[in-house]
Structure 1
Amino acid sequence: MEDATGFSPTTAIVTGSDSGIGRAAAVALARSGLDVGITWHTDQAGAEETADEVRSLGQKAAVRQLDTTDLRGSAAVIDSLADELGGVDVFINNAGTGDQTKFLDLDVKTWMGTLDTNLNGAFVCMQAAPRRMVKAGRGGRIVAVTSVHEFQPRVGSSAYDASKHGLGGLIKTMALELAQFGITANSVAPGEIATPMTGQTDEDPTSKDRPGVPLGRPGDAREVAAVIAFLASPESSYVTGASWVVDGGMLQMGPQGGSHITAHDWREG
C-alpha cells in the first residue's frame, strides 16, 4: 500500500527490539509486510527471538548489537542494518534506559549515561536513518518512543525526564525540517506498560489493578506497537510533529490525582 505521495515502505529498523515495546513493534511492522532490522544492547538471545518471530511472518530480519552511549559507533550500526536490508524506509527509535536517582543525589556520570542513551544516541541514530531516506528519495517515517514523562515529571527521574522532554522536542524540529523530503517524524509516549523496564516481563496487564489510571490497568506492549505501526504506515501521511500518548488516560489524572493524594510518600518516588 502507498499513500498520496507514493510512499510504500518495505524496510524498517527498530532499536531496542530484543523485548517489550521494541519487540512488539518489530513484529507489528513485519506483519505489515516490512523487513526489519533489530538491535540489542545486552540481550542477544532476546533479539534472536524477535528475529525468529519476524521471519515466521515471511519477512527478512537483520540483527546487530547497538550501544547508544557509543555515539561514534551508533550511526555505523544503523548504516550496516540498512545495507543488509537494502534500505530503511521506517526508523523506530525505541532504545532507552532509566534511573531512579533523586536530583540532589544524582551524579554527573549517571546523568550523562541516561542522556547519552536516551537523547544523544537517539540523535545520532535518527540522523543516520533519514540521511539515507533523503538520498533514496522515497520519503520515510521516523517514530521515537518517548514516555508520558515527555510531558510530566516523576520524582527520582531527573535525567530520564530531561532526556524524554528533549527527545520530544527534537522530533518536533525534525518534523519541520524533514517534511520537504516526504519524511514524517512523530513520537509515541507510553504510560505504564507491562515490559521488562517496569518489572512486568510477560505478565498479563489485565490482571493488574491501577486505580489511578482511568482504564484501570497497565498497557500491553502490543497496544503501543499498534500506534507505532500506524505512524509508520502510508495511512499516517498527514501526521507529523505530533506526540501520541498511549497511557490509558494517566496524564489526564493530574489535578484529580493531586486532590486525592492523602500522604506524602510520593515524595520518595
Structure 2
Amino acid sequence: MTSAAAPSGKVAVITGSDSGIGRATAVRLAAAGMDVGITWHTDEEGAARTAEEVGRHGRRAAVARMDLGRLPEAADTVDELADRLGRIDVLVNNAGTGTATPFVDLEPDDVRHVLDVDLVGPFLCGQRAARRMIRQGDGGRIVNVTSVHEHQPRVGAAPYCAAKGGLGLLTQVMALELAEHGITVNAVAPGEIATPMTGQEDTDVRGERRPGIPLGRPGDAREIAAVIAFLAGPDASYVTGASWVADGGMVRMGPQAGSHLHSDDWRRP
C-alpha cells in the first residue's frame, strides 16, 4: 500500500520498520521531510501503524513485505519501494534476528539464517540502493544498524556476533568504494534498547533499572533513531565509514555487564 500525499523531497527505505528502532526511524525521517518505504516480515499491522505515523507528518509511505531469509529475491523489495516512491536517497538496513543458543549446540540452518538476515541481506539491499543512488547522480546515505556486538562478543550469540561484526567491516568497505559517488555509509551500534526484540515494547525506559549500564537504564528506540537521522541528514555530509555506538556506556563495561551485573557496587572504588 502507498499512502497518498504530494511527492517531494528525499526518500528513505527502512527495513524492519514495523516496530522498534525501524518504526522510530521512519517517524523521525518523516518529520525531517522524507517519504518512507517501510518493510515488514511478520507484523503487517505494525507496518500499517508505522505508515499512519509517517502520514501524520504529511509524507508518503509505501509498505512491502520483505523476508531476508529468502535471498537474493528479498532485495527486490528495495527496488520495488524505490519505484513506488520515485527514487531512493537513504537506506537504513535495520531488520535483524539472533539466537540464544550455546555455540556447540547450534544447527547449521540456524547459523545460515542469522547470517542471511543480518549480513547477506544488508549486503544485497545495500547493492540495490547504491546502484540506484549512483544512477541518480546526487549521492546518498546508507546506515547499517549493527549492535554493540559488532564490537564485543556475547555468550549464546555466536551467529549474531559474527554477522554484526561482519556488517561493521562491510560498512567500512562500502564507505571506501562508494565515497566517489557521494554516498556515505555508516553503522549505528545500539546497546540494549526497549523494543519487541528485547521483550520491552512500549516500556518507559526511565523505570527500568540496569546496574551494569553506566546510564543505569535501557535505551529508547527514539534515541537510536536520532543518531540514524543525523547520519541520514545533511549535517553528516563529511561522516563516513564510522560505527556510532549508542549504548549508555555498555561497551565500556564489557559485553555481559548490561544483563549480568545486579548491583551498583562497581561504581565505588
TM superposition score normalised by structure 1: 0.91
1:158 counterpart residue number? 158
1:184 matched to 2:199? The reply is no
Taking structure 1 as reference, are residues 261 and 198 closer, same or farther at Cα in structure 2, changes over 3 Å only? closer
Q: Answer yes or no: is 1:250 the counterpart of 2:250.
A: yes
Residue 84 of structure 1 corresponds to 84
- How much does 1:70 deviate? 1.4
- 1:1-269 aligned within 5 A: 10-254=10-254
How many angstroms apart in 1 are the aligned matches of 2:142 and 2:170? 12
**Aligned letter for 1:228?**
I
Contact 2:212-2:261 at 8 Å conserved across structures: no
What count of residue pairs does the alignment treat as equivalent?
254
Compute the displacement of 1:253 (Å): 1.0
> Are the counterparts in 2 of residues 10 and 34 from structure 1 also a CA contact under 8 Å?
yes
**TM-superposed deviation, 1:246:** 0.4
**Aligned counterpart, 2:265:** none
Separation in 1 of the partners of 2:146 and 2:153?
Answer: 13
Q: Distance in 2 between matches of 1:124 and 1:34?
A: 23
Partner SS state of residue 188, structure 1: strand
Deviation, structure 1 residue 89: 0.2
SS at match of 2:144: strand
2:41 is matched by which residue type in structure 1? H
Q: CA deviation at 1:238?
A: 0.5
Q: For the residues of structure 1 that align with 2:61 and 2:9, how far apart are their CA atoms?
A: 15
Structure 2 counterpart of 1:182, one-letter code? G
Is there any run of 5+ residues in structure 1 with no aligned partner, and where?
Answer: 1-7, 263-269
Identity of aligned residues (%): 62
Residues 71-94 of structure 1 show CA distances to partners (whole Å, capped at 9, x for unaligned) of 121221110100011100000000
Give the superposition deviation at 1:192: 0.2
Alpha-carbon distance in 2 for matches of 1:240, 1:76: 26
Relative to structure 1, the CA distance from residue 111 to residue 58 in structure 2 (aligned partners, 3 Å threshold; closer, same or farther) is same
State the Cα RMSD in Å: 1.8
